[in-house]
Chain A
């Protein structure tokens, strides 16, 4: 058990180095032989050798303090005992036959149901697909932005990976759902879910990723999902984070888009004690469309941080981004949204909006929209607002017979639904709508 003085000692630079090394070792010990993947893993390991565990002195972590983790000795997951009854309510009717269940970072063959997929589409554990390993050289851990400590930590030691791979021109109508379940064990757990999605040229899919946990136990999820959209491919993606109240959730979603591809993503976060989502989209061709929508709804002492980057490097790119946060209690929401428009990205049309709703005097929001424009012939707009519920709006509703608490719920619901309405999977959208309507 660490005491207060231990914690302050641990905060020194040396201790941060040591703590990261400990995490690396724990992660490496969890790697199975079937997923040795020596080359990518050793590259990540060398990178990590030069890194330390982040502190708030680094600009990227200025508002998100991870030092509470330093006092926790996380261990790798052992055998789990998640049953159908535990996860039945997470299954969506639309995704029947296209559901991967990942328990504490490992694909569960018993709980996954994959009998509804068309021939040619690959969905499952990467460990079961040795024939793919030769094709991974350009994909796995190859996206820009991999040189980041938590992404590399995942690469060095993920114990299993979900792979979704669509061949050319394959359109999968059934949305594919990945349920990541965190189940508490005796020790604080360190779990590293990994997912690789490859949509080859002209293919299309809808992906739902749902990070879920219902325990209050101390837990660390470090997740990475890489999505590759080849030319003219389309992915519609929902990422839902509903982890348990004792969870540190750090997640990376990195999207690489070839020419004429379209990525539409919704990321909604409700759970965890501390959540950080790094959402990075890299253009790799002309005329790509990127639409990303984020929602965070947090209360009590929760902390939620979204760092997004859309990097445009080719002409005729379209970017639409809206990120919203609802912050109650003493919760703290952070948004850092970079849109980088390089010289070659002429005729870019980009729009970014961040709106924050503060529900208490003790809630806190830090927001930093960043447009970095080098190209000279572009249309870019951005904005950020932080506001409370408007008393005039509440009075208007009251004057129609709606009580003040009901009026507040209605306004919060409306604020959230502008994002949740972008989710195309109906059952998921309505469940999250229910969650929001009962939220306060």
Chain B
């Protein structure tokens, strides 16, 4: 029962709220960079409500079931990941072995839901977008896994998020070590790609394939996808915070520290997105399988040496 409360309060409502707020921060900063005024705080929420009121259209020849079920799969998995992460942060002792693996696998599901939704649209542009999304997943997954190994090694070969958090409470944040710093750089790039933000917004690429997998989505399913993306904007930085920056604690003044860390990460992601052009998918693959993987391997090597 306690899990249910966690799921509804932390996993869904709080995450959705923070995610919507973060997407406002993102839009506002982008607007200021481009000398625009930017939207008011409630704009992301208003957008969602507006989409809920719009008509839902399904393309002819599409598999209706897969088309409508895909957004639910993505949203559900994000809620579940968020619940696991919150539970870990607030009760580091009461977690299960291997929750890192569960989180890593569940974090693939949002991409998977976008891919399946795109394929189900029976639209060539959506198919192209989905195939790019899949290739992007393949490219960042390798350095992403390697980078996650660094906290795993430093925490004493544990596959438990709670133990990594406890380790950081006792020994200082993992970001402070050389290996941790390198791995952090790598994972930041991977998160940028996981969020499909510029320079890795190749799957959506509005200017060439008109939104890719999302091209046929409208009304409520689109709202669910938007909500999922906004929630990911919270969940992924939160995951980095747990792995590298000591997580989020409610005791004492730590919570202000936690909020600052989170806002810093979001600002960093936004700055990267606003100062780079979009790359091609093969360039992204070369980037992730080349320099990023080598950097991540160096980080793992340093971590094994104890640095």
Genuine A/B complex = no
